[in-house]
């Protein structure tokens, strides 16, 4: 049963760059279906944490486990994607010259299983997946549109849609609403609410209004480890968190 239990477990992860500890015995547990927001001042280690989970950075010490059995530190980046972890960086990286639909189909073709299917023809299930994702990201009326002509928010949703094509268990998102209008931000909050449960979302975010809207739970990172964890109200009421944000 994959509908509950721990999806991600980081155990005492440490990462140093030239003697500087970017992560310092970081431990974190995320439950299946959760929508977790990671906050913390610049340099807290948020990006380094995402890099460890996705295999981009190797920790000096500690463990990282996906689901009950998968040792992430034993896998390469591509194998981690294959295992069901999708990551979206802050800037959209859609193929601007291609249509929305082609972007979604292309995302499928990076998948090992899809590459084994005949030529460029999608299976019925894959065609259905494209339709489903178009509806999820609310671009069903824009399928034929050139991706480069979309608004900033629509490009971000398209890129999330590209990740969804592979049906990842865990989605890692870096400041997904940066640069969005209020309208686009609200729609993104709705999208995330609809994805949580079926997927697990870990969102690095600076926009506290957005965090308030979406987070089931918030983790505050500081100097490479967890400073506080709980609801946004709980962590914002924590004196240590207040001190860190005031820069004392």
- C-alpha 62/C-alpha 13 separation (Å) is 4
- C-alpha 216/C-alpha 179 separation (Å) is 23
Render the burial of 191-214: b for 16+ CB within 10 Å, e for the rest: bbeebbeebbbbbbbebeebbebb
- C-alpha 47/C-alpha 205 separation (Å) is 11
Q: Considering the rule CB under 6 A, would residue 126 count as an interface residue with ligand ADP? A: no
Choices 45-53, 75-83, 121-129, 186-194 (CB under 6 A): range interacting with ligand ADP: 45-53
Q: Work out how close the CB of 141 gets to ligand ADP at its nearest, in angstroms, rounded to a whole number.
A: 36
Choices 16-24, 99-107, 147-155, 177-185 (CB under 6 A): range interacting with ligand ADP: 16-24
Choices 43-51, 81-89, 143-151, 206-214 (CB under 6 A): range interacting with ligand ADP: 43-51
Among 32, 48, 126, 185, binds ligand ADP (CB under 6 A): 48
Cβ proximity to ligand ADP: between 56 and 113 the closer is 56
Q: Considering the rule CB under 6 A, would residue 43 count as an interface residue with ligand ADP? A: yes
SS3 content of the chain, % helix, strand, coil (to 5): 40, 25, 35
Choices 14-22, 115-123, 138-146, 240-248 (CB under 6 A): range interacting with ligand ADP: 14-22
**Token match 């969005």: residue?**
180
Among 13, 26, 36, 45, binds ligand ADP (CB under 6 A): 45
- Those residues whose C-beta lies under 8 Å from the C-beta of residue 58, and which sit 6 or more positions away, are 52, 73
- The residue among 176, 109, 170 whose CA lies nearest residue 137 is 176
Among 2, 5, 17, 127, binds ligand ADP (CB under 6 A): 17
Q: Can you give the binding site for ligand ADP, defined by CB under 6 A?
A: 17, 20, 22, 40, 42-48
């Amino acid at each position: 049963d994959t509908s509950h239990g721990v999806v991600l477990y980081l155990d005492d992860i440490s990462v140093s760059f030239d003697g500087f500890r970017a992560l310092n015995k970081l431990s974190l547990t995320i439950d299946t279906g959760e929508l977790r927001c990671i906050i913390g001042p610049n340099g807290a280690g948020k990006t380094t944490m995402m890099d460890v989970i996705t295999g981009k950075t190797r920790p000096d010490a500690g463990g990282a486990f996906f689901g009950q059995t998968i040792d992430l530190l034993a896998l390469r980046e591509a194998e981690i994607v294959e295992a069901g972890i999708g990551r979206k960086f802050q800037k959209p990286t859609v193929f601007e010259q291609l249509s929305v639909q082609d972007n979604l189909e292309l995302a499928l073709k990076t998948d090992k299983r899809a590459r084994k299917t005949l030529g460029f023809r999608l299976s019925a299930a894959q065609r259905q997946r494209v339709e489903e994702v178009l509806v999820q990201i609310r671009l069903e009326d824009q399928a034929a549109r050139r991706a480069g002509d979309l608004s900033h928010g629509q490009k971000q949703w398209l890129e999330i849609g590209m990740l969804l094509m592979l049906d990842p268990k865990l989605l890692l998102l870096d400041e997904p609403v940066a640069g969005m209008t209020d309208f686009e931000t609200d729609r993104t909050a709705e999208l995330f609410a609809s994805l949580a449960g079926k997927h697990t979302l870990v969102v690095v975010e600076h926009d506290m209004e957005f965090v308030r809207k979406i987070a089931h739970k918030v983790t505050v990172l500081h100097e490479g480890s967890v400073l506080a964890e709980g609801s946004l109200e709980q962590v914002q009421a924590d004196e240590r968190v207040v001190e860190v944000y005031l820069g004392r």
